[in-house]
Amino acid sequence: MIAPPVTILISQPAPSLRDYFDRTAPELARWNRRNRFYHESLAQFHRFLIPEGRGCWRWAVA
C-alpha cells in the first residue's frame, strides 16, 4: 500500500485523518518489527539528544 501524499492528508477533515490512522495503526507493530534496527537506532539517538524526562515524546523514546 502506498501512503497518500501528505498534502492530501492535511487537507482532509479531521475525522477522515483520524480514520486513516485508525486503519493504519494495527500495522505499526509489524513495521516496527520489520524495521527494528532503524527504530531502535532512532530511539537511541533521541535519548542522546533529549535529556531524560524532557520532551513530549517520552513514551516513544523511553
**pLDDT tens-place string over residues 17-62:** 888 888 888 888 888 888 899 988 988 998 888 877 776 655 554 4
User: If you write DSSP's letter for every residue of 15-53 in order, what string do you get?
Assistant: HHHHHHHHHHGGGHHHHHHHTHHHHHHHHHHHHHHS-TT
Of 24, 22, 21, residue with least CA distance to 1: 24
pTM over 0.75? The answer is: no
